């Protein structure tokens, strides 16, 4: 049992979006990569379409946002953050956008490309 405001309890099968936002993201070597900027919700199905990772300065090119399938985030209680099993080289070539630019949120092919890139089957292909 955890109240909505209890950020010290990572147990349980539910988590508030506010607890996800701002959480640090690490690679499998537990090096800090960035943080979760937000999660994008698919309105019709109520599914998390993407977790948006913010890797500011990570690649030396200022803030960039990387949409990832939710399945790629694994919470690690030791470091108190999410670990993503993605190589740096893979991330460097991953679909991303800048703060200024627009992302292809309404472009189905763009979204499919994100999922394909990470080897995850798009949830919208699966019957609800």
Which residues sit at the interface with a second copy, rule CB under 8 A?
1-6, 11-18, 20-21, 37-50, 52, 65, 70-71, 75, 97, 99-107, 123, 126-128
Phi/psi for 105 (5° steps) reads -55, -30
| Cβ 89 to a second copy shortest distance, Å | 25
- DSSP code at position 88: H
Nearest to a second copy of 19, 27 (CB atom): 19
| Cβ 109 to a second copy shortest distance, Å | 13
Nearest to a second copy of 69, 88 (CB atom): 69
β-pairing, 81-83 vs 74-76, is antiparallel
Nearest to a second copy of 26, 111 (CB atom): 111
C-alpha distances (whole Å) from 4 to each of 35, 60, 88 are 21, 36, 34
| Cβ 32 to a second copy shortest distance, Å | 22
Alpha carbons 110 and 128: distance in angstroms, whole number: 21
| Cβ 41 to a second copy shortest distance, Å | 5
Q: How many C-beta atoms lie closer than 10 Å to residue 69's C-beta?
A: 20
């Amino acid at each position: 049992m955890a109240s909505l405001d209890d950020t010290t309890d990572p147990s349980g099968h539910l988590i508030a979006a506010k607890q996800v936002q701002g959480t640090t993201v690490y690679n499998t070597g537990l090096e800090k990569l960035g943080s979760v900027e937000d999660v994008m919700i698919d309105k019709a199905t109520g599914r998390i379409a993407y977790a948006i990772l913010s890797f500011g300065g990570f690649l030396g090119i200022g803030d960039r946002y990387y949409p990832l399938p939710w399945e790629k985030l694994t919470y690690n209680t030791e470091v108190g953050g999410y670990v993503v099993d993605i190589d740096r080289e893979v991330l460097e070539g991953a679909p991303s956008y800048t703060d200024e630019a627009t992302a292809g949120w309404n472009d189905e092919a763009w979204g499919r490309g994100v999922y394909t890139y990470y080897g995850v089957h798009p949830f919208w292909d699966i019957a609800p």
